[in-house]
Amino acid sequence: MIKVKSSAELRLMMESNEIAAQALALAGRSVHAGMSTWELDKIVHDFIVSKGAIPSSLGYGGFPNSCCISVNEELIHGIPSRKKIIREGDIVTVDVTTLYKGWQGDNARTFRIGTVSPEAERLMKVTEEALWKGIEQAVPGNRIGDISAAVQAHVESNGYHVVRQYVGHGIGTEMHEDPEVPNFGKAGRGPRLVPGMTICIEPMVNESTPEVKVLPDKWTVVEANGKLSAHFEHCIAITNDKPLIMTLESH
C-alpha cells in the first residue's frame, strides 16, 4: 500500500533527510586515500548520532555497520571494514540512511578518490545524470514507469547497464515502502504519482553487464564481470508542482 504523507509528516521527513544529506556530504569531504572504510563509517555514525538520529542501516536485516560503503566494482551494500583501505583512483559509493523522530532519510553518492580513470569519470557522470532524468519525471500525473524509463534510456544510450535485481523504493516511517521504483521500465506504466508520495530514486549502474553477484559475506553486491559500478540516490516528495528533493544539504 502506498502511503501519502501530510504536510506535517513531510516536514518531519525533511528533518531526517537533511541529517542524511549532511552525513553524506561529510563523508564526501572526509573520504581520502589511506583510510579504511571502517574509519569512514565511524565518521558518518558519530555525526548522525550527534544530531539525535539513528543510523537506520545499523542492524537492518543484520547489517553490522551504520552505512554501506562500496568500492569500485562493488555496487551496493558494502560492509565497512578496518581491512578495506581506500586508495588513490578508487571510486567509493556511500549510502546513508537515518531515522529521526520516527521518519526515515536515505541518500547515496559515488565519490572519486583523487584522480580517477576516464572510464570511472564517465560512468559516474552518466549515473548522476540518469538520477536527474528520473527526478524530472517525478511530477503529479506521471507514473512510476515514466521515472524508470527516463533512467533506463539515459543509461543505456550511453552504453551502460541498469541493474535489475535492486530498485528504488517508497520511504516514510519504514526505510522501504511501496511502491518499488525500478531503473528500467515503460513510460505510462505503474502507480500514478500524487502529491504526498515520497520515493527514493537511485540509479544503480554497471559498466559491462546488468548482472551482479553477492559476495560470500551475503551483503556486498558486485558487478558480475568485476568492472566498475556507480550509484546515486535522492529522496524526493511529489508535490503539486516540481519534485521536492529532501536530500539536498542546506547547511
Chain segment 141-164, per-residue pLDDT in tens: 999 999 999 999 999 999 999 999
DSSP-assigned beta bridge partners for residue 76 = 221
DSSP-assigned beta bridge partners for residue 233 = 108
What is d(CA 113, CA 120) in angstroms, rounded to the nearest whole number?
A: 11
What is d(CA 99, CA 52) in angstroms, rounded to the nearest whole number?
A: 9
Where exactly are the structural domains of the chain? 7-245
Sign of the alpha-carbon torsion through 116, 120, 122, 128: negative
Share of the chain above pLDDT 90, in %: 99
pLDDT of residue 250: 64
- 8-state DSSP, 177: E
What is d(CA 195, CA 249) in angstroms, rounded to the nearest whole number?
A: 22
β-pairing, 161-162 vs 103-112, is: unpaired
Q: Region 237-249: what's the mean pLDDT?
A: 95
Q: The C-alpha cell of 42 is what?
A: 565511524
- 32 versus 251: the higher-pLDDT residue is 32
Is the per-residue pLDDT at 34 higher than 80? Answer: yes
* H and E: helices and strands count for the chain: 4, 15
Is the per-residue pLDDT at 186 higher than 90? Answer: yes
pLDDT of residue 249: 78
What is d(CA 200, CA 234) in angstroms, rounded to the nearest whole number?
A: 6
Torsion angle, CA of 230/225/182/147, rounded to 10 degrees? 50
Q: The C-alpha cell of 181 is what?
A: 521504483
Q: Judge contact between 51 and 100, C-beta under 8 A.
A: yes
Each residue of 83-121: pLDDT tens digit? 999 999 999 999 999 999 999 999 999 999 999 999 999
Burial class for 239, CB neighbours closer than 10 Å (0-12, 13-18, 19+): middle
7-245: in CATH 3.90.230.10? yes
What is d(CA 138, CA 119) in angstroms, rounded to the nearest whole number?
A: 29
pLDDT of residue 251: 40
Q: Region 243-247: what's the mean pLDDT?
A: 98
Kindly give, in sequence order, each residue whose CB lies less than 8 Å from that of residue 25, ignoring residues fewer than 6 positions away: 249
DSSP-assigned beta bridge partners for residue 188 = none
pLDDT of residue 199: 98
